[in-house]
């Protein structure tokens, strides 16, 4: 064995370990039901739930009471609703969003989100027709 070959074998092993650990640590996009199940098995892993804001239920954010707490309801792709608790101020485009990705853990019936990605429909797309004044 030459030193270079040993080094290459070690490097390949590290590379493989890196990729395996990467995929070992990733989670899936799940429903609220799955998030609840998985959170029981792996309480410290964070899950991603693709959902929509449930506009029929109240969205509570009172900055004067607690600027770091937002409580709202969301509907996942299977149509199940879950209460979501988020430890940060209300995202600015929350109500406009057509889709939310919640990242967090499920505990005792609630989803605790550490991050919310909201996708707004018009953000990168064309504006609707806007009519100016006829000159």
Partner 1 sequence: MKSIEFAGEWLWLGNLGHAAVILTFATALLAVFAFFKASKEGTSTYYDWGKRFFLAHSFGVLSIVAVLFFLIFFHRFEYYYVWRHSSLALPTHYMISCFWEGQEGSFLLWMFWNAAIGLVLLRKQTDFKAPVMAIMAFAQVALSSMLLGIEWGSFHLGSSPFELLRVERPDFLQIPILGSIGIGNYLQVITDGNGLNPLLQNYWMVIHPPTLFFGFATAVVPFAYSVAALWKGGQNRSWIRPALIWSLVCVGILGLGIIMGGYWAYESLNFGGYWAWDPVENASLMPWLLMAAAAHMLLIAKSTGRHLFSAHLLIQLSFWLVLYATFLTRSGILGEASVHSFTDLGLSGQLLLFLLAFIGLSYWAAVQSKTLRSAIAYALLALLVLIPLVSMAIPESWEAHFTSIIKWAGIVLFALTLVGFIQALLKETKDDVATEDKVSSREFWMFLGSMFLILSLVQVFFATSIPVFNKLFGFKTAVPQEADYNRVQLWLAMPIMVLMAMGHWFRFRETPLEVWVKGLLKTVGLSLSLSVLLAWALDIYNLGYLLFLFASVYLISANAWYALEKKKKSWLNHGSSVAHIGFGVLLLGVLISSVNQRIITQSAGIGLAPEMDANGQMDAKGIEFNRENAILYKDRQGQASNYGVTYMGQRKGTGFDSINEYFLLNFVDTLTGDSFQLQPMTQNNPKMGLLAEPDTRHFLSKDIFTHVSYQSSMDKPEPFAGFKQDTLRMGETFTTSSAKLALRLDSFSSYPTAEGLVVQLKMACSNIGFSESPTEAYRYVYPQFKINTASGAFESAPVESDELGLYVSIQHMKILDPNPKAENLEFVIQTGEKKPVIPYVVVKSIEFPWINAVWAGTVLMVLGFAMTIARRLKEQRELLA
Residue 80 contacts partner 1 per CB under 8 A:
no
Residue 114 contacts partner 1 per CB under 8 A:
yes
Smaller CB separation from partner 1, 49 or 75 = 49
* C-alpha to C-alpha distance for 85 and 68, rounded to whole angstroms: 10
Residue 4 contacts partner 1 per CB under 8 A:
yes
Count of CB atoms situated within 10 Å of the CB of 76: 22
Residue 56 contacts partner 1 per CB under 8 A:
no
* C-alpha to C-alpha distance for 3 and 67, rounded to whole angstroms: 59
Residue 1 contacts partner 1 per CB under 8 A:
no
User: If phi over 0 gives left and psi between -120 and 50 gives alpha, with beta otherwise, what is residue 23?
Assistant: alpha
Smaller CB separation from partner 1, 29 or 78 = 29
Helix (H, G, I), strand (E, B) or coil at 1: coil
* C-alpha to C-alpha distance for 103 and 49, rounded to whole angstroms: 7
Contacting residues toward partner 1, per CB under 8 A: 2-4, 7-8, 11, 14-15, 18-19, 21-23, 25-30, 43-44, 46-48, 50, 61, 63-69, 85, 87-90, 92-93, 96, 101, 103, 105, 107-108, 110, 112, 114-115, 117, 119-120, 122-127, 129-135
């Amino acid at each position: 064995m030459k030193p270079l070959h040993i080094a290459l074998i070690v490097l390949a092993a590290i590379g493989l370990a890196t990729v395996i650990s990467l995929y070992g640590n990733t989670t899936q996009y799940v429903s609220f039901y799955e998030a609840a199940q998985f959170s029981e098995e792996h309480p410290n892993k964070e899950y991603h739930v693709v959902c929509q804001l449930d506009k029929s239920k109240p969205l509570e954010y009172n900055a004067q009471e607690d600027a770091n707490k937002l409580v709202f309801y969301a509907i996942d792709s299977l149509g199940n609703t879950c209460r979501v608790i988020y430890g940060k101020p209300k995202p600015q485009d929350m109500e406009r969003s057509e889709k939310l990705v919640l990242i967090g853990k499920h505990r005792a019936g609630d989803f605790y989100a550490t991050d919310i990605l909201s996708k707004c429909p018009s953000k990168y797309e064309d504006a609707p027709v806007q009519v100016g004044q006829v000159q």
